[in-house]
Amino acid sequence: MTNYPPLKPLHSSASLSPVKLAELGRLSREAIKQTLLPGGTHSLKARSDGTLLEVHHRIRILRNRGIDVDSLPREIIPGNE
């Protein structure tokens, strides 16, 4: 298992859409986790320091459900850390 740094949002929580959170919140945690797998269109992408580049809404939902999102597999995108 790969040890990843903790995920940290690129944007503040205030920027999250309540409508999108409600819509995605209807999905099961397993369904959400499947959409985050590396190689997918909307996979979990982060910088090497853990900065989250996409999927902020899905990560928030999983965190709120008690899922350890910091251990999820991710695509590392090079950037200016």
For 11-64, the pLDDT digits (tens) are: 888 999 999 999 999 999 999 999 999 998 899 999 999 999 999 999 999 999
Q: Can you list the alpha helix ranges (DSSP code H) found in the chain?
A: 18-25, 29-35, 56-64
d(CA 73, CA 34): 11
Domain ranges in the chain are: 8-76
- pTM for this entry: 0.90
